[in-house]
Amino acid sequence: MAEISKSYEARDVEKKWYAAWQAAQAFAGKVAPDKEPYSIVMPPPNVTGVLTMGHVLNNSLQDILIRRARLEGRSALWLPGTDHAGIATQTVVERELRKQKKTRRDLGREKFLEQVWAWRHEKGGIILEQLRRLGASCDWDRAQFTMDPHYSRAVLNVFVDLYGKGHIYRGKRMVNWCPASQTALSDEEVIMKPVNGAMYRVRYELVDAPGHYIEVKTTRPETIPGDVAIAVHPADPRYASLLGKKVRRPLGPAAEIPIIADNAVDREFGTGALKITPAHDKADFEVGLRHKLPTIDVLRADGVLNEFAGPELAGLDRFAGRKLAAELLKASGALVAEEPYANNVGYSERADVPIEPRLTWQWWLRYPRVEEARTAVRDGHIKFHPERWSKVYLHWLENIQDWCISRQLWWGHRIPVWYRKGLDKENLTPADLGDPAKVHVSLDGPADSENWVQEDDVLDTWASSWLWPFATMGWPDPAAATSAGLDYFYPTTTLVTGPDIIFFWVARMIMAGLEFMRPGESLERRIPFKHVYFTGIIRDGQGRKMSKSLGNSPDPLDLIEKYGADGLRFGIVSIAPQGQDLRFQEDRIESGKNFCNKLWNACRFRQMSGEAGDNSSLAAIVNRLEAKKFDADDHAILDRLFATTREVDRCFQEFEFSAAVQAMYGFFWNDFCDWYVEVSKSKLQSPETKGNCLTIQDLVLRQTLLLLHPVIPFITEELWQQLGYATAGNFIEETRLENASQLATTSMAGGLVLDRAAVAAVEKLKEFISKARALKADHNLASRRDVRFFVTTSDAHWAVLAANLVSLSRMAGAVEISRRDAVDGAPAVVTLLGTLYLDLASTVDAGAEKVRLARELEQISKHIAGTEARLANQAFVSKAPPAVLEGARKQLADQQAKRAELERLLKSLG
RNA sequence: GGACGCUUAGCUCAGUUGGUUAGAGCACCUGCUUCACACGCAGGGGGUCGGCGGUUCGAGUCCGCCAGCGUCCA
C-alpha cells in the first residue's frame, strides 16, 4: 500500500477512476431479474447546451441516487442523452450562416439540415463530455438523441397513432406567433412580461355626423388599418344611440366600419368602446367570428407591416410602425391623448421578442389520458417531492388547452402528413381533411409519392421529448425494447428535474406513458416514473436566475479545476435544501473541497497509525473488535456512527440530500475527527488499547466512505482502495452498503453491544475539555501545554475523569489533572463533572476573577428565575407531560447546584 | 386578480410531530506551524426568529391579519 500524500489532489484521482470505471463498464444498466431495478432517465440537455450550475445540481443529485442504488444492491440504469431542441439549435446554425451572409432559404431545406447535422456531430457532444468530468455514472453506451432514426420513428408512430384515434387535427386558429423565429409556439412557450408602453386615445368620426366621434383606447395604433368594427357593450347607455352607425377608420386605407354591440366588451375598461381587429387579437377574433366580420391582416410573418396597413406604414417594422401611426394620428387630429401605460405583453421564451396573435393553419393535439394523469398524481402513484408541486400540476391539468404541436421550422421531426398535389392548403375544409384521398397520414408516406407533397412543418420539440422514458429504451420496436430492458426498467424510479418544466415535460410524459405503455394494464405499470424530485433554481449572489445572457453563472469546469468534482458536488448539494431556490456561494464549494481534504487526512492518519487488519467486510472488522475493552469513547463513536447511518437512510427516503450531507459532515468532522481521533492519539500509545482503537477507526472509515461515496465518488473510491477495503480489485460500488439495522445486526452477531449511556458520558467529557481550554484562554495560557488542573468533585464524577486522564490531559494541554478536596484562590470553572481549577494561585488577579464569576452567577440566576417561575405555575405543573416536568425539576436542581458552587468560589476569593 | 413559496446571526441557510439556554458553514476577533490536515486546531463575539393579534401551561414551530421579496397561473 502506497503512502497517502499530505493533501488531496483531485485531478489525477478523478481521471484515473473515471477511466477505470468506464473500462470496466461499471455503469452499464443490466437486466438482473434477481435484483430490484433502479432507473433514471436524464432530462436531456439541449444539444446546443454547455454545462451550467443548474445541470451540475441536477445531475449530481441523479448520480447520487444512482450510486446509492448500486450500493444498496439494486441494478441501476442512468440513461443519458440530448434533445434536438428545434428552435434553439436552428437559431444557432442560422446565426453561423448569417456570418457568411446567407439564410437557410438560400441553402434550401435539405442542405440546411445537412449543416445542422454537421454542427451536431461536431459540437453536440460537449455537454455529455462535461458531465463525465462531474463524475456522472451514466450508461454512456445507451446515450440517446431525440433525432436518432429509431427515436424519430417512435415520434412519428405516436403522431400517426394519435391522428388515427382522433386526438390530432389540423385547424386554422389564432396562435402565438414568434416573428423572430417565424413559427407558431405553444402557450407554454410564451412568457408574460410587464412592459412600459403607451396608451393611445383615438377618436373615430361618425360617418353620419361629421364632427362627432367615438373614442377608443389602444396600445397598438399600428393595427388600426386592420380595424373592422367598433364594439360596445349592448347595455351601455353611453353608446346605445350609436349602435349600427358607421365610423371612418382614422388610419390606413379609407373605410367605413360599423359600431356593433357585444357582451364581451368590458364597460369599465378605457372608454367602454373597443376597436375590433380580428387579425391581431384573440378576443377580437372571437368577436369577429360572432359578427361575421372580415379579417384584415396588416402584418407579415416577420412582424413587418404589409400593404394592407397603407402606403405610409407598409414596410415598417411593427414597433417603428407604432410610432409613425401615433404621429400620423396626431397630425390628422385623431389622437386625443397619449399616456404612459404598463401592461403585460407575451414574449417568445426563446427569441425574447413580443409574440403576435396570428391566424394560421396548425396541427393540434387534444391531450390523451388527462383524467388518468390527474389520478396518478392525486392518488400518489407518482409522488412529487416536495409534494406542493402536485397542486401546480393538477391546476394546469384542470385548465388544459389543446397543444399546438406544429412548428414552422426545418430542424425537427417532419410531420408525417402528405397533401394531394394541387390541393389548396390555405382553404382546407373538414371534408378535405377527413378524405384519405386528399390528406394522407402514415409512417412511411403514400405509395405514389410523386402525387403528394409532404407537410412542411415539424413537430414541437416537446412532442418528441414527452416520449423520453420509453422511446429511449427501444419502444415501440419489440426487439429493441427487449434488448434495452424496457420491461425491466419501466416505470423508471425517479425523475429529477426543475419545476419550470412541469408543464412542458413532466405532465406530458405522464400522459404519454399512460397512453402508450402497456395498454390495458394497471396505472402503476403505465406511469413513466414513481417519484419526481424537483430541484430548486440556482440564483447568483443577488438572487437573479443564473443565465448565459447575464453572464452570472460560473463555469462549472473552472470550479472542478479549482475544487475538484467531489468538492463541487459536495458543496452544491449541501446548499440545496429540498425544493427551495438557492443562492450560489463559491465558499460553500470551497468548504466541499476542504471536507474532502479532511477526509483524506483522517484516512492518512489511520494509515500512519498502524498496519491494516482484515478490512474485507464489516463482519471481518467486527470480528477483530474486543468489546470488553471498550471505553466510553469507543461506545460513543459507534453509537454516533449508527445514528448517522440511520439519519442518512431517512434522508434518502425523504429526498433530503442536503440534510444527509450535513449529517455526514457533522459526524465525520466533529464527532470523529475532533474527538475520537484526538482521544485515539493517547490510546494508540498503549498496546492495551491500540488494537481496538484502530479497528474502530477502520469500521468508522469504512461506513463513512460508503455513506459518502454517492456524493463524492472519486475520493471515496481512492481511499477505499488505499485502506484495503476493496477485495479482489473490486470497486467500492460492488460492496453492499449496510443500512442502520443491518449495521446493528452485524455488530451484534459479532458480540458488540453498545452502551448508550456512554454517549452522555462523552458529552460531559467534551464539556469538561471545552471549559478547561476556555479557562486557559481566559488566562492567556491557550498555547501552554504544561499547566496543572485541580478538580473538586464527587467520587462518581472523579471515576469518569480518572478513567480518561491520559487523553484528557493531552487534549487540555495539561501535565496534570488531579483531585483535591478543596482549592482556594485559583481561577475556576463549574463543569458537569465538578469544579475545575487552574493552578495559578500565586499569580491570579482576584479582582478580574471575581468579575468573571459574578457575570456567570448573574446568568445562572436569571435561568434559575425562569425555571422557578415555570415550576411555580400551577397550570404548567398540572398540564405538562410528566417527562417535561421532571426535566424542568432536574434542570432547576442542576442550576441551583451550579449557583451554590459559584457563590462558594466567589466567597473564597474574598 | 388567483395559487404557492420565502422572511431566523454580517452573508447563505438548518430547525422533524409545539417542550431545557435557537444551530451550521462562511465571514469576523484572539491565540497556535501541538508528531493526519493552516484545505488545519483551540477559544470568542454576534440573533427580542419580518410586524400585530390569537390558541396553549408553554410558540421560531399551530391559526388569523398585515408588510416586503420571489415564482407560477389568469
Q: What is the CA radius of gyration of chain A?
A: 37
Mean pLDDT of the region A99-116: 84
Which nucleotide has the least CA–C1' distance to A595? B39
Instruction: Select from A410, A405, A416, A427 the least CA-distant residue to A453.
Output: A416
State in Å, rounded, how far the first CA of chain A is from the last one. Answer: 63
Distance A777 CA to B43 C1' (A): 6
Which nucleotide has the least CA–C1' distance to A885? B19
| Pair A849, A909: CB distance under 8 Å | yes
Q: What sign results for the dihedral spanned by CA atoms A848, A854, A860, A866?
A: negative
Q: Give the lowest-confidence range in A180-194, A443-457, A648-662.
A: A180-194
Mean pLDDT of the region A370-385: 92
Which nucleotide has the least CA–C1' distance to A780? B31
CA A835 to chain centre: 52
Can you give the length of chain A in residues?
Answer: 910
Q: For A193-245, how does the pLDDT look when each residue is reduced to its tens digit (9 = 90+)?
A: 878 888 888 888 888 888 888 888 888 888 888 888 888 888 888 888 878 88
| Other Cβ atoms closer than 10 A to A217 | 19
* Nearest protein residue to the C1' atom of B41, measured from CA: A674
Distance A542 CA to B57 C1' (A): 45
Q: Give the pLDDT confidence score for residue A314 in this predicted structure.
A: 82
Residue A826 binned pLDDT confidence (cut-offs 50, 70, 90)? confident
Q: Give the lowest-confidence range in A263-277, A430-444, A585-599, A681-695.
A: A263-277
Residue A4 CA: distances (Å) to CA of A8, A209, A729, A845, A876 = 9, 98, 18, 49, 59
Which nucleotide has the least CA–C1' distance to A9? B39
Q: Is the pLDDT of residue A842 over 60?
A: no
Nearest 5 degrees, angle CA A250-CA A255-CA A259? Answer: 80
Q: What are phi and psi of A578, to 5 degrees?
A: -55, 115
* Coil, helix or strand at residue A348: strand
Nearest 5 degrees, angle CA A804-CA A698-CA A649? Answer: 100
For residue A284, give the amino acid letter: D
Residue A546 or residue A504, greater confidence:
A504
Q: What sign results for the dihedral spanned by CA atoms A614, A618, A619, A625?
A: positive
Mean pLDDT of the region A252-262: 84
Interior/surface letters A428-449, b for 16+ CB within 10 angstroms, e for the rest: beeebeeeeebbbbbeeeeeee
Q: For A626-646, how does the pLDDT look when each residue is reduced to its tens digit (9 = 90+)?
A: 888 898 899 999 999 999 999
Give the DSSP letter of residue A673: I
Q: Is the pLDDT of residue A1 over 50?
A: no
Residue A31 cell numbers, joined: 437486466
Mean pLDDT of the region A864-873: 82
Q: Give the pLDDT confidence score for residue A549 in this predicted structure.
A: 63
Beginning with the edge strand found earlier in the chain, give each strand of the sheet holding A417-420 in spatial order: A439-441, A417-420, A452-454
Instruction: Select from A633, A757, A763, A616 the least CA-distant residue to A692.
Output: A633
Q: Is the pLDDT of residue A18 over 90?
A: yes
Q: Is the pLDDT of residue A505 over 80?
A: yes
Mean pLDDT of the region A566-572: 93
Q: Which nucleotides of B are covered by protein (CB under 7 A)?
A: 3-6, 11-15, 19-21, 24-27, 30-34, 36-44, 56-58, 69-74
Distance A115 CA to B72 C1' (A): 38
| Pair A719, A600: CB distance under 8 Å | yes
Residue A520 binned pLDDT confidence (cut-offs 50, 70, 90)? very high
Which nucleotide has the least CA–C1' distance to A187? B73
- What HEC string does A863-887 produce? HHHHHHHHHHCHHHHHHCCHHHHHH
Taking the C-alpha atoms of residue A859 and residue A431, their distance in angstroms, rounded to an integer, is 90
Q: Is the pLDDT of residue A783 over 60?
A: yes
Q: Give the pLDDT confidence score for residue A547 in this predicted structure.
A: 67
Give the DSSP letter of residue A503: I
Q: For A730-740, how does the pLDDT look when each residue is reduced to its tens digit (9 = 90+)?
A: 999 999 999 88
Residue A524 binned pLDDT confidence (cut-offs 50, 70, 90)? very high
Taking the C-alpha atoms of residue A737 and residue A721, their distance in angstroms, rounded to an integer, is 16
Query: Average pLDDT over chain A, rounded to whole?
Result: 88
Q: Is the pLDDT of residue A859 over 90?
A: no
Residue A790 binned pLDDT confidence (cut-offs 50, 70, 90)? very high
Residue A427 CA: distances (Å) to CA of A430, A432, A493 = 10, 9, 48
Mean pLDDT of the region A115-128: 85
| Pair A116, A101: CB distance under 8 Å | no
Say yes or no: ipTM exceeds 0.90: yes
Distance A898 CA to B36 C1' (A): 38
Q: Is the pLDDT of residue A484 over 80?
A: yes
Q: For A384-416, how does the pLDDT look when each residue is reduced to its tens digit (9 = 90+)?
A: 988 888 888 998 898 888 988 999 988 899 999
Q: Give the lowest-confidence range in A303-317, A403-417, A670-684.
A: A303-317
Which nucleotide has the least CA–C1' distance to A10? B39
Residue A367 binned pLDDT confidence (cut-offs 50, 70, 90)? very high
Q: Give the pLDDT confidence score for residue A142 in this predicted structure.
A: 95
Q: Give the pLDDT confidence score for residue A604 in this predicted structure.
A: 93
Q: Give the pLDDT confidence score for residue A521 in this predicted structure.
A: 95
The DSSP element (H or E) to which A624 belongs, if any, is: helix A618-624
Taking the C-alpha atoms of residue A494 and residue A63, their distance in angstroms, rounded to an integer, is 12
Distance A885 CA to B53 C1' (A): 29
Residue A148 cell numbers, joined: 436518432
Q: Give the pLDDT confidence score for residue A489 in this predicted structure.
A: 96
Distance A776 CA to B43 C1' (A): 9
Mean pLDDT of the region A711-716: 95
| Pair A775, A836: CB distance under 8 Å | yes
Which nucleotide has the least CA–C1' distance to A769? B42
Mean pLDDT of the region A757-773: 88
Distance A871 CA to B57 C1' (A): 10
* Coil, helix or strand at residue A871: helix
Distance A674 CA to B41 C1' (A): 9
Which pTM does this prediction carry? 0.90
Residue with cell 411555580: A872
Q: Give the pLDDT confidence score for residue A117 in this predicted structure.
A: 86
Instruction: Select from A578, A574, A579, A475 the least CA-distant residue to A518.
Output: A475
Q: For A607-618, how does the pLDDT look when each residue is reduced to its tens digit (9 = 90+)?
A: 999 888 899 999
- Can you spell out the DSSP letters for A351-404? T-SB-EEEEEEEEEE--SSHHHHHHHHHTTSSEEESTTHHHHHHHHHHT---EE
Mean pLDDT of the region A184-189: 80
Contacts of residue A483, Cβ cutoff 8 Å, sequence gap at least 6: A474
Taking the C-alpha atoms of residue A463 and residue A633, their distance in angstroms, rounded to an integer, is 60
Instruction: Select from A763, A574, A565 the least CA-distant residue to A663.
Output: A574
Residue A352 cell numbers, joined: 425574447
CA A686 to chain centre: 51
Beginning with the edge strand found earlier in the chain, give each strand of the sheet holding A834-838 in spatial order: A814-819, A787-792, A834-838, A828-831
Mean pLDDT of the region A36-51: 90
